[in-house]
Amino acid sequence: MPSLAGLFFWMNRKIENINKITITKPLKLDCGKTIKNFPLAYETYGKLNENKDNAILVFHALTGDQFVTGTNPVTNKEGWWVTAVGPGKAIDTDKYFVICANVIGGCMGSLGPKDTNPENNQPYGLDFPVITIKDMVKAQESLLEHLGIKKLLCATGGSMGGMQLLQFCATFPDKAFSAIPIACSSSHSAQNIALNELARQAIMADPVWDNGKYVSKNVQPKNGLAVARMVGHISYLSEKGMQEKFGRKLQEKADYEFSFNADFQVESYLRHQGYAFVERFDANSILYITRAMDYFDLSKQYKGGLVEAFKNQDTKFLVISFSSDWLYTTKENKDIVIALNASGADVSYSEIVTDKGHDSFLLNEPEFLKTLKGFIDSMYEKFKNEKRI
């Protein structure tokens, strides 16, 4: 087992070898600060065809990264959306060109709080500017420019990825022919802000965190970060799904130990998820990205409300929610549909019935994947025809 510092070094070295562009164009952030000459890491799958009409942009969620499918070269684990993206899958990389970028504020190669602040040659830590979903999306639009893609066949994303997508459609109304927001919301609810605050407080309560200055000491507030991840994992499952998966089953033992070790399987699961996470994610990135999610409120940006945000949309939408998702509920997803309808946009909506909670979009949910595939394939036919005309 390598030491954590060693692991960090090893991960950083690997991160040096991933695809990146340097965005030279200054990006004025919502907080008022400007960043320029910053790296944006990305990955692509499949081939962009001659007409450049088969590009699909995927926005990743809070703890995701650009490695959508195949093997993540940094963690050596499967890509986070391997169920949906790949050769012959719902988002078929034999047919489509899939792009995904690491969000700014993240820790997989794009500019984030663990990078060096050119002003003092120290890691940014809390000197990193507070970023928003809109800032993330603007940075990714520059990547499309770099790749020479004028209009995407489709843009999609679940959870925070869906929020980025809604922002992308509102800010760049003519950049996507179709869009699939999945299990998301147009503004973060009080419950979701509360859960994010719980995650942040767990990190900040860890003495190793040290006001975000741990990076220069090559350590990580792993206890706090693990707890933050556990909070997340509880919210991604449904009550029923959790009961079915774990119940009161004990972890490799016949009876209670009368201790505070992980007696129950559910405890063991959470601990495993928590401590596996600290090896691949930066604690300050969690603070920054959860903050961006909490600040997200599309109707606040558009004074006339959500309907105004979607005015003049030519994009064809498919909104998908999951019946047992209590983090981004069917109701919140339907509100997006209602606003799109009211703005006259072309919108479809499907609620997938499942017990698997918010996590469903990452799992092998046949009805969901069929719907996804049917929509993208039919949109591709339409897009090709439209371009021909």
The residue from 185, 238, 263, 358 that is catalytic is 358
Catalytic, out of 159, 178, 185, 187 = 159
Least CB distance from residue 350 to another protein, whole Å? 5
- Minimum CB separation of residue 302 from another protein in Å reads 17
Q: Is 191 in the site for another protein (CB under 8 A)?
A: no
The correct pick among 209, 347, 354, 361 for binding another protein (CB under 8 A) is 347
Residue 351 lies near another protein (rule: CB under 8 A): yes
Give the contact letters, 298-337, x = binds to another protein (CB under 8 A), - = no: ------------------x-x---------------x--x
Annotated catalytic, 358?
A: yes
From candidates 213, 280, 349, 384, binder to another protein by CB under 8 A: 349
* Closer residue to another protein in complex, CB, 293/337: 337
Which lies closer to another protein via its Cβ, residue 165 or residue 287? 165
Residue from 71, 374, 386, 387 binding another protein (CB under 8 A):
374
The one among 13, 47, 146, 370 contacting another protein by CB under 8 A: 370
∠ CA 40-41-43, rounded to 5°: 135
Rounded CA separation 135/133 (Å): 5
Rule CB under 8 A: say whether 379 interacts with another protein: yes
**Catalytic residue selected from 53, 92, 325, 359:** 325
Residues that bind another protein (CB under 8 A): 316, 318, 334, 337-338, 341-342, 344, 346-353, 367, 370-371, 374-375, 377-379, 381-382
Q: Which residues are catalytic?
A: 159, 325, 358
